[in-house]
Structure formats: structure tokens, C-alpha cells
Structure 1
Amino acid sequence: MVALEHHVLENTNKNIKRTTMFRCKQFVVNQTNCAMKVNTDSMILGSWAKPNQSAHILDIGTGTGILALMMAQQSLASAKITAIDIDEGAALQASANVGASPWPTKIVVQHTKLSDLVADNTFDFIVSNPPYFEQVKGHSHAYNSQSDTREQARQTVSLTPAHLFSFVIEHLTSTGEFYCLYPFARESEITDLAAEIGLATNRILRVQHNDQHSPYVTVFCMSKQHKKSVIENLVIRDESGDYSSRFKALCRDFYLRF
């Protein structure tokens, strides 16, 4: 995952540390107690994933609550959003962010494992920015020194693609959509695994830092309905190093600077 540049994290209150608060156009995310901060990946995923007329929305691994809040901004006023996280600190932080947002009753945050989630309904829209780093083999100071909560947020040991996709196939409506992202290097692996479980990949967004680099992450739109797959590319920065017009257009509803 790529951390957002600090100059994007603009605050009207100069006394607020930029590393702990992230301001969008309609809401503010406090991320002091979350292992994983708001990052470019989650902003792209939340901007690209359109809930449209969805009535029941699920955010798996909500962290700060950023994706749930982005879905709340874009969805029907009557939509019900469930946001879950395995980490208690993240769930508490997300709950506080929801309470301070324009949609305090639209989103319900739960501290629970995916396998323990009890839902009264299926979902017609599911979104997840899952942990996607494989478990580290051998000695690594960076990984050995990370907290347990950061490990859960970053590494697939806490939520494998197979576990995630198996849940989705059971809880997604027949016409619903599921959005997630994984490293570009795992694109074929992810689409093949999803197909084995019964999910068709209908849209793909390959994200590049700039034209000089290959894609680093792929965003997926999956469903139970098999359609011809559409592949798009997104370049974050143009030749001059500025944000590209496509990136600005995609994230304009959320970024303060766009």
C-alpha cells in the first residue's frame, strides 16, 4: 500500500497533526489509533467502487472507516452500511469517525471477525481493502518489529483471499457487486481463485504510479454474473509529476485539493 503524500492531508485547523487527521470534502477521518492509515489505495478503491442503488452495503476490514464513509457519501440515503474490523482499536476509531460524520445512523460499525459476522440479510454491495502481503518467511526487522494489529491489517494470514471470496459468494446477492484490490503481480492468481469459488471478474483497474512504472496494484469488480471483462488503467501522476487529470477526476468528490 502507498501512503498518501503529506501535502494532500490538508487541515483547516493548523493545530491538528497531519498524520492523525485526514479531511475529505464531506467528512473527517481521525486515524490516531489505527494500525493502517488512510492511503492512496483505499482512496482509489472507494472512488472507483460505486454503490449506486445498493440497499445493503458491507465494508470488510474497515480500519479508520474511510471506505464505509465514502460509500455513505455516494449511496442512497436509505442505504444501510455495516462496517467490520477484527481490531478493537480500529473499530472504536471507525465508530468515532462515523459519529462525527454526516451519516451517524447510516453506518453500523462492529468489532468482529468475518467468520463471526451475523447478518440479517445478504448484501448487494461488498467492498474490502484486504490485507494482501503474504506471511514473511525468515527474519525481517521491519516485520518483526510491527505490532500485531499492523500485521493483521497488512498480511493475508489474518484474511486470505480464499476466506474472503468464500464469504462473499455466500453473502452477496445474485446481482450484487464485490470490490477489492490486490497487488498487480497477483492479478491472475486472484481472478483464477475467484472463478473457482464462483465469482466472475467483470471490471479491472490497473493502477500505476506513473507512465514509467508498471502497475503496482489491481482493483477488481466481481459478481456472480458472468460478463465480458473490462480492463482500465489509471496513472496517478503525469510526466510533470503532478496528479493526472484521470486521477483528479476519479477522486474529485473526496480530495480537498481537487
Structure 2
Amino acid sequence: MPQTIETLPNGLKLWQDDRFFKLGQDSVLLSAFAKPRRNAKVLDLGCGTGALALLVYRPDLKITGLELQEDALALFRRSIADNDVEMTAVQGDLRAIRTIFPHGSMDYVICNPPYFDRTAGKSAPSPEKRTARQDGSCTVEDVAVATSFVLHTGGKAAFVFRPERMWVLLEALSRVRLVPKRLRFVHQNATAAPSAVLVECRKGGSPEGLTVEPPLLVESEEYQRIYRK
């Protein structure tokens, strides 16, 4: 398969391959929404070719990507080397998270989880893309459990998801003590229904204090600034 290089909004280079999902709006917007503290240990769950991990890169962060598919991980490792940045790429199944990372070892988790039930709608065009976007290899519940396991109490996680399945995500998070604290919906414009929702949660603590931020409009200067970062 032909491989290409994409320049990310932060100037880093991303190696891509047609077998895997390429850089998309969701990863860019999630990277702008996520707010890991200084010197945080950050885990990108199901990192694929590493777009999200590279987008959130800061020199102070200790970023690790976990990915099931070795070929995708190879591209991520190539991007890490070509950008000369310090990140760790780990091959493994997030459903076996307890055998990969210590409990409570991360401060912040970022994840673009499988959007669709494997029985719903048209399948993705390749096995690699089906693995990334449908819940045949892992479910939203698996993602929530893995996230809760690696976060210490007070740690945070940020996700991007589909609004029509938001309750699936929120219910899964609530079962493992991940409390939503920030929500932001993404709309094409002020009159359009939302196309994505950004969610940040905290492990443990009170269910009070959820902030619903102003909508992010694709047809806005803010959106353009995110892409010009």
C-alpha cells in the first residue's frame, strides 16, 4: 500500500497508509479539547498510526500509544523517529490492559473509541478500518474499563464520540467511576445538528459540576485557528 506523509497543525509529520484511517477532524478537535496538566503521563488508547498522540505532543508530556495492529504501530514508530520526539509505542490489546500497564499509572487518557456497533450499518472497507471504527475487537465498555484501570483517582480522560450514541459512552464511563466534567458539541454551523461530541471525565469524585461548553462550529474562526495551530 502507498504510504504518505501528512503535516499536522502543530508542524509534526504523520506517516499514513491507505489501509488505516487517515488524519481526520475528530482527532484534531479532540487534541485541542484535551487539557493534560504539565508533565502528565498521557496514554492514547487504540492510537492507530499515532495521529492523536502526535497532535497533543508537548515536550513536557510523557506520551504512550497503545495499539493492537502492529502495522499501524510501525507507522507510528516511524513518525516518532522522523519527528525526533520522545514517545513510547506499545503493541497490545486494551482488553488485556492489566498485563500491560500498572494500575493508576497514567494522569490522562485520550481516545477516539469505536463509534459503531459491529452489527449496525455498512461495514468499514478494510479489516484494519473495521478494527478501528467498529466494536468487534473492543467495545466502548472495554475502553471505559481500560481507561479507569490506568488512571489514578483524580486522573482525567478525553474522548470524541457520536452524539446519537453518547449515552452508550456515558453509561459505560459511569460504571467505572469516570465522571463527565466537560462536554462540547461540534456542529457544522449554528443551525445544524451536532456531528460529534467531546467529553472529558475525571476518575472519582462528585457527579456535580458538569460544564457544557459553547458549541464548536466548523464554520467559525475558532475552528480555523485550531487547524492553523
Structure 2 unaligned runs (5+)?
none
Larger radius of gyration: 1
Distance 1:108 1:230 in 2: 32
Q: Secondary structure at the match of 2:185?
A: strand
The C-alpha deviation readout for 1:130-161, integer Å capped at 9, x for no partner, is: 11111135xx7x52x72211110110222211
- Counterpart check, 1:179 vs 2:179: no
Amino acid at match of 1:123: M
Residue 65 of structure 1: which of 42, 47, 50 is its match?
50
Aligned-partner Cα distance in 2 for 1:55–1:190: 24
**Structure 2 equivalent of residue 133 of structure 1:** 116
- Per residue, is there more strand in 1 or in 2? 2
Give, in whole Å, the separation in 1 of the partners of 2:218 and 2:36: 23
Q: Which amino acid aligns with 1:218?
A: V
Where do 1:48-63 residues align within 5 Å? Answer: 48-63=33-48
More off after superposition, 109-118 vs 85-94: 109-118
Task: Output the CA distance in 2 between the equivalents of 1:167 and 1:58.
Answer: 11
Question: What is the TM-score when the length of structure 2 is the normalising length?
Answer: 0.88
- The answer for unaligned runs of 5 or more in structure 1 is 1-16, 238-243, 254-258
Query: 1:80–1:124: structure 2 CA closer, same or farther, 3 Å change rule?
Result: same
Q: Residues 108 and 33 (structure 1 numbering): CA distance in 2 closer, same or farther, change over 3 Å?
A: farther
Hey, what's the Cα distance between the residues in 2 that align with 1:126 and 1:108?
14
* Cα distance in 2, alignment partners of residues 86 and 189 from structure 1: 23
Q: Aligned to 2:136, what secondary structure does the other structure show?
A: coil
Q: Which residue in the other structure is 1:193 paired with?
A: 172
Counterpart code for 1:245: E
Deviation at 1:195, TM superposition (A): 1.5
Q: Deviations over 1:202-248 (max 9, x none)?
A: 001101122231001111101123341111211111xxxxxx11212
Partner Cα distance (2:144, 2:179) in 1: 11
CA root-mean-square deviation: 2.1
Q: Single out whichever of 163-172 and 20-29 deviates more from structure 2.
A: 20-29
| Residue aligning to 2:82 | 100
Where does residue 107 of structure 2 map in the other structure? 124
Within 1, Cα distance between the matches of 2:68 and 2:33? 25
Question: Number of aligned pairs?
Answer: 221
